[in-house]
Chain A
């Protein structure tokens, strides 16, 4: 009598597994879009937390959009991990119609597999309440170059450029004539040390900040596009180039010369950036969010300024990450989501992002707060390139491994030669798996 029971149990188990796998296989229908006229509601998963200043502007825009169009927006404040959740949802029928995040993360999650819609048509749409003004007017074509996916999968509403921040009160001479070359920059360090400050604050435990610094130097010596070309090469021989050594030596020397704020290699983020805000260090290499993240901690007379990453030769392009909207291919209400994107790119909302949330928008005609004027000018005066030369978006696994080497270089644990040996090893390993 036990055998039939057991057999029945096995049958039930098998049926359960088959049902589960069958359900999984049913998810992610690419032709899920409803007719445009039936798209009266859409689901938006946001990268922001509800209490953040940017979220408050978005909330106000949603309320206004709902009033004007009658389309309901089901917004869910998912936070920075939003794409991990989207990725998991792609195998189900619960896919959001609209998501936002930085371009590298969106490309890695959706853009490499055709999971994001081409939003070229959105650029031709009118923005809210401004006759004859289109999304293209708000997002100059220069930003298209940063969209390295096969189509325009992102409409940016926020741009972040890495640059070097300092106090105009402490170093007024730099406001009109910032250091242009790396040697000009490092020549300031003696003066800085004489002022009782450390030259550079760097939270070395935050690997993406370490990578931003090392990659900025590498792009300066190699030229835009060549760091990407270097890591795309399965032989990894590009790491032996003298330009690579020039950049790595320059970064390694900072640790040798004690140019970082003491404890930078043994602290927990954000200890060092807070110490910089408390005037213990002169320079901070960081993105456009400095006014938003650290502005409240600065002295009233701090006079925040920033300058472009110094050059090693001719290359002076600015590393930029665009943040904005993408529409998953499996969205049910893509047209409604696209309407909202165009609505949000109106001057009214971009101005609010600039003034209320103190972030840079792609629209060069939007007035920016004084503390972002330097960056606005920097973006207007130089070529732009996708931060980290786009390697994070295309090779996330490899850049995770290189990030640990970047930390080693910055903390003085690795010399430039040791870095190169290890970089070649991890790159060869990466291409063994992905080649």
Chain B
């Protein structure tokens, strides 16, 4: 019905006068011509920058990944050798597993806490102040946070001083075995505020009558979450999940500064994919300068994560609910 009405309106408008139509068409074509003329000057600067600083280097990285190149002499073509070695590399395996741990474990914990906070904060007084506090860790530089965490959790740091004050034994929070769990905890702490904010913004859009209706129907808060909050924020959650997937691949500074020192890289036991690429190229007191191998790792991880994002988008695809 709507389409028929639109068609009828369009026909009537077009048939008012031919003169009007011609005038209108002439105006449109002048406008179109002007717009076309301006298209290139407006787009070109951004396009050039994008090509030179993003697409160009990305394509170059793909090419470099098929070479042995130390950054300053001629690159030697080695075909798929870098990739063949990479799939057997135990350090790359560790980096890949750690990247997945950050993606999955930190991701799940962040989203569970973020949803938990939305349930608490939705009806809480002073929630804007709480939001700001939650968001603070995300605003502070990851390097500053990692140094702060180092001071707090090291053997004679604040946390162990408190434990000792209560007569407890100090804990080796930063020992080799505990370092990766501490990094995961740090990632949760830094990121939960951002994702709680995003989800809270989506929850704020939901008209209150749905919650009132659900409450009248006798639902508890968990049921309201599953039958009102989750379905009505699903599209935002899907975008946030994609955002987290991409961000988790790029995490670098916190692990670098928390696990390492000013000059030395952290142990390979806590490397993720970004640390692996850095460690094989510019990282460390005496860098490896293995740019071909590092590029192969970057390209491989990019492909794996692109596949993951596509799958995630497919799994999370739902018809958005309009309200």
Please report A residues at the B interface, Cβ cutoff 8 Å. 1, 5, 8-9, 12-13, 16-17, 20-21, 28, 80, 83-84, 87-88, 90-91, 104-105, 108-109, 112-115, 203, 205-208, 262-263, 265-269, 271, 392-393, 396-397, 399-401, 403-404, 407-408, 411, 413, 425-426, 429, 432-433
The interface size of chain B toward A, counting residues with CB under 8 Å, comes to: 59
Residue B264 interfacial (CB < 8 Å): yes
Q: 1/0 contact trace for B28-64 toward A, CB 8 Å? A: 0000000010011001100110011001100110000
Q: Which residue of A lies closest to B155 (CB)?
A: A263
CA A408 to CA B268, docked complex, whole Å: 11
CA distance A429 to B71 in the complex (A): 22
Residues of A near B242 (CB, < 8 A) are none
Contacts A271-B154, A401-B91 given: A413-B263 contact, CB under 8 Å?
no
Q: Which residues on B are within 8 Å of A, measured CB to CB?
A: 36, 39-40, 43-44, 47-48, 51-52, 55-56, 59-60, 70-73, 81-82, 85, 88-91, 150-151, 154-156, 170, 172-178, 259-261, 263-269, 279-280, 282-290, 293
Chain A residues lying within 8 Å of B48, measured Cβ to Cβ, are 12-13, 16
Which of A17, A108, A413 contacts B289, CB < 8 Å?
A108
List, sorted by A's number, 23 A–B pairs whose CB atoms are closer than 8 Å: A5-B36, A5-B39, A8-B40, A12-B48, A13-B51, A17-B52, A17-B56, A20-B52, A80-B263, A87-B289, A104-B286, A108-B286, A206-B263, A265-B172, A266-B173, A392-B285, A393-B286, A400-B284, A401-B91, A403-B267, A408-B267, A425-B90, A433-B85
Decide if A404 touches B269 in the complex (CB within 8 Å).
yes
With contacts A113-B70, A429-B90 taken as known, whether A206 is within 8 angstroms of B264 at the C-beta atoms is: yes
User: Would you give the shortest CB distance from B57 to chain A, in whole angstroms?
Assistant: 9
B286 to chain A, nearest CB (A): 4
User: Does B290 contact A271, Cβ atoms closer than 8 Å?
Assistant: no
A90 partner, pick from B55, B72, B259, beta carbons under 8 A: B72
Nearest CB of B to A88, in Å: 7
Q: Which residues of A contact B283 (CB under 8 A)?
A: 400
CB-based contact B289/A400 at 8 Å: no
What residues of B have a CB within 8 angstroms of the CB of A397 in the complex?
A: 280, 288, 290
What is the CA–CA distance of A208 and B289 in the complex, to the nearest angstrom? 18
Q: Check B40–A267 contact: CB distance below 8 A.
A: no
**Contacting A266 at CB < 8 Å: which of B39, B82, B155?**
B155
Given contacts A263-B172, A397-B288, A425-B90, contact A268 B150 (CB under 8 A): yes
B45 smallest CB distance to A (angstroms): 11
Chain B nearest Cβ from A213, distance in angstroms: 14
Report whether A9 and B43 are in contact in the complex, using a CB–CB cutoff of 8 Å: yes
> Is the CB–CB distance between B268 and A400 below 8 Å?
yes
The reply to whether A426 and B91 form a contact with Cβ atoms under 8 Å apart is yes
Question: When the two chains form the complex, which single residue of B43, B91, B287 contacts A108, counting CB atoms closer than 8 Å?
Answer: B287
Residues in A neighbouring B43, C-beta threshold 8 A = 9
Contacts of B284 in A (CB 8 A): 396, 400
Chain B residues near A104 (CB, 8 Å)? 286
Assuming the A-B contacts A80-B263, A269-B261, are A109 and B289 also in contact, with contact meaning beta carbons closer than 8 angstroms in the complex? yes
Instruction: Tell me if A266 and B288 are in contact (CB < 8 A).
Output: no
Given A16-B51, A109-B287, A208-B263, the answer on whether A411 and B176 have CB atoms closer than 8 Å is: yes
The complex places the Cα of A16 from the Cα of B259 at a distance, in Å, of: 40
Q: How far is the CA of A28 from the CA of B155 in the complex (A)?
A: 49
The residue among B39, B48, B261 with the most chain A CB atoms within 10 A of its own CB is: B261
B170 / chain A contacts, CB cutoff of 8 Å: 263
Q: Residues of B contacting A109 with CB < 8 Å?
A: 287, 289
Partner of A208, one of B88, B90, B264, B280: B264
Docked complex Cα distance between A400 and B154 (Å): 24
Roughly how many angstroms separate A130 CA and B93 CA in the complex, as a whole number? Answer: 59
Residue among A105, A269, A429 making CB contact with B285, cutoff 8 Å = A105
In the bound complex, residues from chain A placing their C-beta under 8 Å from that of B36 are 1, 5
Q: Are B39 and A400 in contact (CB under 8 A)?
A: no
Are A5 and B72 neighbours in the complex by a CB distance under 8 Å?
no
Listed residue (A16, A104, A205, A432) with the most chain B CB atoms within 10 angstroms of its CB: A205
Asked whether A404 lies within 8 Å of B268 as measured between CB atoms, the reply is yes
Within 8 Å CB of A16, what residues of B?
A: 48, 51-52, 56
Tell whether, in the assembled complex, residue B172 and residue A396 are in contact, meaning their CB atoms are under 8 Å apart: no
- Which single member of A17, A266, A429 contacts B51 (CB below 8 Å)? A17
Cβ-defined contact, A205 with B174, below 8 A: yes
Contact A105 B40 (CB under 8 A): no
A17 to B89, CA, bound (A): 34
Residues of chain B within 8 A of A1, CB atoms compared: 36
Q: What separation, in Å, do the CA atoms of A105 and B288 have in the docked complex?
A: 10
Tell me if A263 and B154 are in contact (CB < 8 A).
yes
Contacts A207-B264, A407-B267, A429-B90: A113 and B72 contacting too (C-beta < 8 A)?
Answer: yes
Apart from A104-B286, A266-B154, A411-B175, 17 more pairs, CB < 8 Å: A5-B40, A21-B56, A84-B282, A91-B72, A105-B286, A207-B266, A208-B263, A263-B170, A266-B155, A267-B155, A393-B286, A396-B284, A397-B290, A407-B176, A413-B177, A433-B290, A433-B293
